[in-house]
Structure 1
Amino acid sequence: MGFWDSIKSAALKAKCTVGIHGGNYKLIEGETCKYSKICPDCHETIKTEKHQLGKAEYKFDYKCLTVKKCIKCGQEHEGEKHEEYENVDVDDFCNVMQRCRSERIHGKEHSWTSDGSTDTHHLFRCMKCGAKSEEKKVNFKSR
């Protein structure tokens, strides 16, 4: 075996070691969505499942859980799909609750009021949760 053959052999071995096998999958006889192949480089048998999933449909009313069914074997694959959020309420800590088919906490919605100022900043306080914020004063003379 020459130098380039040994390089090629090492590369093929490394490829298979990290799970990159050659060959083509074929349907396993008597199975619906199960396939196998024999790697021509390491001679390992590799098995996999390949499903043909249909359209995602909601599994329950008022929940964002979806299900896709394989059109061949009926196996279900669950997922999540959110649509058209609307604000429902704001709690005492300014957390915004939103509803899709289910509910989630999403961000803050403060009710700011002036809380005085310093020489350089305007100060604000949330009337609901007490959070504080400041905004730098604009001074056109310093430009």
Structure 2
Amino acid sequence: MSLFQKAKGAFKSAKCKVGMHGGNYSKMEGKPQCYLSKTCPDCDEVVVKNKHKYGNDFYVREMNCLKRSTCVHCDHAVEKIIHHYTFDRVDAGCNVFERCARCDLVKKTNSKKHTWGDWSVTAPGRSSRACVFCGEQDHKQIN
């Protein structure tokens, strides 16, 4: 056996030990279309995987944000929570809150909505204004 063949064999063995098996997946006999398997040509291990194809997702219940998608081949389901937030209110600190239209969950966003007062010159070349609710200052350079 040549040095190249020994190196090639060692590489194949190491590749299989870390789960990088060769071969091509095909549909498993007697199973839904999303069940696939292959036999590694290097170590003869049978490797199985699922490749689900999910249909349209739907809400599980009214006034609930749990959505479910089901595989069109085997009925395997995955669920996720999807909220539909819309503007709710602004508090005294000008923090913006949103409310989910489906489940009424309220969350504080990372944005602020200020109601600014009038600009006033505070120094030569500089103008300022303040939010009438929270007092936050806004500054700009003027010419």
Partner of 1:110: 114
Q: Could you tell me whether the CA contact under 8 Å between 1:22 and 1:40 is conserved in 2?
A: yes
Alignment of 1:11-50 (within 5 A): 11-28=11-28, 31-32=31-32, 33-50=34-51
Does residue 2 of structure 1 match 2:2?
yes
In 2 relative to 1, CA 37–133 (structure 1 residues): closer, same or farther, beyond 3 Å? same
Shift of 1:71: 2.3
Alignment of 1:1-143 (within 5 A): 1-28=1-28, 31-32=31-32, 33-81=34-82, 86-102=86-102, 103-106=106-109, 107-114=111-118, 116=120, 117-135=122-140, 137-139=141-143
Aligned residues: 137
Unaligned runs of 5+ in 2: none
Q: CA RMSD in A?
A: 3.0
Shift of 1:37: 2.3
Give the alignment's TM-score, normalised by structure 2. Answer: 0.69
Percent of pairs with identical residues: 35
Q: Which amino acid aligns with 1:113?
A: G
Per-residue CA distance 1:77-102 (angstroms, 9 max, x = gap): 1134456x532211222222234535
Q: Report the Cα distance in structure 2 between the residues aligned to 1:39 and 1:64, rounded to whole angstroms.
A: 43
Shift of 1:22: 1.6
In 2 relative to 1, CA 125–44 (structure 1 residues): closer, same or farther, beyond 3 Å? farther
Q: Which amino acid aligns with 1:110?
A: H
Q: Could you tell me whether the CA contact under 8 Å between 1:125 and 1:132 is conserved in 2?
A: yes
Shift of 1:109: 1.0
Give the alignment's TM-score, normalised by structure 1. Answer: 0.69
Q: Secondary structure at the match of 2:37?
A: strand
